Structure 1
Amino acid sequence: MKTRREHLENAKTIVIKVGTSTLTYENGLLNFDRIEKLVRQLSDLHNQGKNVILVTSGAIGVGATKLGLKVKPQTIPEKQAAAAIGQGILLHIYEKFFSEYSQIVAQILLTKDDITNKTRYNNAKNSFNELLRHGVIPIVNENDAIAIHEIKVGDNDTLSALVATIIDADLLILLSDIDGLYDSDPHSNKTAKLLTYIPEITEEIESYAGISKSKLGTGGMATKLKAAKISTKNGVSMIIANGSNDTIIKDIISNKEVGTLFVGKNKGGEL
């Protein structure tokens, strides 16, 4: 059985999912300082010889702000319009920051069909592999500008787990506004324990899903556990960590005691 250190330090291909709560202030506007620091960490990770894939939320929120909407888009057309505007803005911001560290980025927008349809799945896999071969950092989001309910993955926690599976990643990092999975509510119980190493997702572990709650975005702890099940089943270890920590990526890779690590099974079915 691999140690936590081995799972983290030996990871070659790493998917990082960043949630809305990490990218924005509570008023919904982008936190440029945090985005820049995240980009710097990912660029440094890439310079260490790692394959880096970023799954980002925030397009609908950015688009809604640009349109001057006072309330969050509710209808599908409203969300599609906001996403179409916001995705371009978001990519431009990422491209600007990444270029300062001499990194090349590419946009990949996916729908559920790209994962469930074998031909489209293989096309997506080939695209990812070719970009990584050229040292490019793919920036991934769901294609909300055209997606309707029937073809939506639904949340980027799940999307990132599916992306990690497509590219046969070694590690998936979910960044949110929570430190990880606790055995009780840390807001009401000062003795709540952060679970740092989970070799198997048991019923007891699943029962903790309603305890640790994220404030923003579509992905609460339940969706994160769903992502953990998908990724670990397919041999990808996954860690939940707090994106408000400006050195969180470095801390994770250097095996500091941060976040909750769910251990992926290898191809032989062992941990």
Structure 2
Amino acid sequence: MNQPAARGFTEQPLPAWRRAVLKVGSSLLAADGEGLSPRHALNLAQFVSASLAAGREVIIVSSGAVAAGRAILHRKPQSGIAMAERQALAALGQAQLIGLWQRFFERPVAQVLLTHDDLRNRRRYLNARATLQELLALGALPVVNENDTVSVDELKLGDNDNLAAVVAALVDADALFIATDIDGFYSANPRSHPEASPILDVEALTPEFHAMAGGAGSGVGTGGMHTKLEAAAKAAAAGIETFLFNGTRADTVAALARGSLLGTRFRPAQNRLAARKYWLRNVPKEAGAIVVDAGAANAMTSRGASLLPGGVTTAEGDFRRGDMVEVVLRDEHGDRRIARGVSQYSAVDIRRIARRHSRDIEGILGYNYGGNVIHRDDLVLL
């Protein structure tokens, strides 16, 4: 059956790209409570195959494990179910999800499951990067998902839209393709506002655009348009273009293989952040914060200085050495987040050395990891 034209969207040429991340949501892979379906996945797989045949590299970030597990047990979607049950559903469905993608490709499909800690811990972040790059070098097709089965804080890192943006930066991708069930980005939700205007090209994601975004559109997926804009903003900060398109439309997906976009293009920032600074800005942070005085805040923001114990007033939470934490200025105006970075000391240690000179650290703690609480190379301003 022929589909009507994508409302208001016209074809625009895609820029040249060598490596891309394709994010596919649950709404494209699973009907409500009915398990995984190849209906839309087939067209997307054909786009991937055409890209691979042209000498490009693709990584798929795919949702759908929980939906697949739910179908195995014949359970309808519901909100507020226990974490353990959602994790069990993910464990049941993950094998089916990988099997769905493997059926479309002659090359091996590699399952890569990432966790909150993999993206927060610098060493594990770099290990994940090395693994993905080696899989690409071996000619495999990586399919990435959150390791839902062992997530402890909550089921998702945030959502797979944001995970896809982090993966795109992780592997130095040129493009992030987000397949959804809507034609592109509109000035309002086109399902409830028929007069909404299509937006073909976004130069910079201002607060005005974020205000246009709505919530989740289906009972299967977890991400709405707001999370897609968040992902596009993160990708843009890393110099990566994002392309939002309707993955349920065969003509739209076929156009991608021809080098054309029927959807919305989000352009990258002009000045690309260094890879480490990007990681510092976007990876998940640990609960808690390091509280500093005005002098320390000024030294970091105006002079690019490291954070020394003398400018720290206290530490909140129970984070450990090597964790990603936020730096908060607390004064008569209240609390303001000014930076985030990798702490060289635990929260317990920082509370002991706060307001002290760096030379006193070893005498107080009995050991010394250096004179900085956060080194400037491990710090990014907010």
Q: Give the structure-2-normalised TM-score.
A: 0.64
Task: Map residues 100-139 of structure 1 onto 2, 5 A cutoff.
Answer: 102-139=106-143
1:191/1:150 Cα in 2 relative to 1: closer, same or farther (>3 Å)? Answer: closer
SS of the equivalent of 1:149 reads coil
Partner of 1:43 in structure 2? 49
Q: Which residues of structure 1 form unaligned runs of 5+? A: none
The CA distance in 2 between the partners of 1:37 and 1:255, in whole Å, is: 15
Shift of 1:188: 4.6
Partner of 2:230 in structure 1? 226
Structure number having the greater helix percentage: 1
Task: Map residues 47-126 of structure 1 onto 2, 5 A cutoff.
Answer: 47-72=53-78, 74-98=81-105, 102-126=106-130
Partner of 1:259 in structure 2? 263
Residue 247 of structure 2 corresponds to residue 243 of structure 1: yes
The CA distance in 2 between the partners of 1:104 and 1:143, in whole Å, is: 20
The CA distance in 2 between the partners of 1:190 and 1:255, in whole Å, is: 29
The CA distance in 2 between the partners of 1:21 and 1:152, in whole Å, is: 16
The CA distance in 1 between the partners of 2:174 and 2:261, in whole Å, is: 19
Shift of 1:190: 3.9
Residue 165 of structure 2 corresponds to residue 158 of structure 1: no
Percent sequence identity over aligned pairs: 37
Structure number having the greater strand percentage: 2
1:71/1:267 Cα in 2 relative to 1: closer, same or farther (>3 Å)? Answer: closer
Larger Rg: 2
Q: Contact 2:241 / 2:265 at 8 angstroms: preserved in 1?
A: yes
- 1:50 counterpart letter in structure 2: R
Q: Which residues of structure 2 form unaligned runs of 5+? A: 1-11, 274-382
Question: Greater shift after overlay, 212-221 or 154-163?
Answer: 212-221
The CA distance in 2 between the partners of 1:151 and 1:215, in whole Å, is: 18
Shift of 1:239: 1.3
Task: Map residues 192-211 of structure 1 onto 2, 5 A cutoff.
Answer: 192-210=196-214
The CA distance in 1 between the partners of 2:266 and 2:184, in whole Å, is: 11
Shift of 1:192: 2.4
Residue 144 of structure 2 corresponds to residue 140 of structure 1: yes
Partner of 2:8 in structure 1? none
Larger RCO: Structure 1 or Structure 2 (Cα < 8 Å, ≥ 6 residues apart)?
1
1:254/1:194 Cα in 2 relative to 1: closer, same or farther (>3 Å)? Answer: farther
1:182/1:213 Cα in 2 relative to 1: closer, same or farther (>3 Å)? Answer: farther
Question: Greater shift after overlay, 175-184 or 72-81?
Answer: 72-81
- 2:256 counterpart letter in structure 1: I
Q: Contact 1:9 / 1:253 at 8 angstroms: preserved in 2?
A: no
SS of the equivalent of 1:168 reads coil
- 2:63 counterpart letter in structure 1: S
SS of the equivalent of 2:205 reads coil
Deviation sequence 1:63-111 (CA, Å, 0-9, x none): 111122244471111011111110011112211222xxx2221010001
SS of the equivalent of 1:219 reads coil
- 1:234 counterpart letter in structure 2: A
The CA distance in 1 between the partners of 2:254 and 2:264, in whole Å, is: 15
The CA distance in 2 between the partners of 1:161 and 1:204, in whole Å, is: 21
Q: Contact 2:32 / 2:77 at 8 angstroms: preserved in 1?
A: no
Partner of 1:214 in structure 2? 217
- 2:264 counterpart letter in structure 1: T
Question: Greater shift after overlay, 232-241 or 190-199?
Answer: 190-199
Q: Contact 1:15 / 1:164 at 8 angstroms: preserved in 2?
A: yes
Residue 21 of structure 2 corresponds to residue 19 of structure 1: no
RMSD: 2.1
SS of the equivalent of 2:142 reads strand
SS of the equivalent of 2:186 reads coil
SS of the equivalent of 1:82 reads helix
Deviation sequence 1:21-73 (CA, Å, 0-9, x none): 11122444322232222222211211111111001001011011112224447
Q: Contact 2:87 / 2:150 at 8 angstroms: preserved in 1?
A: yes
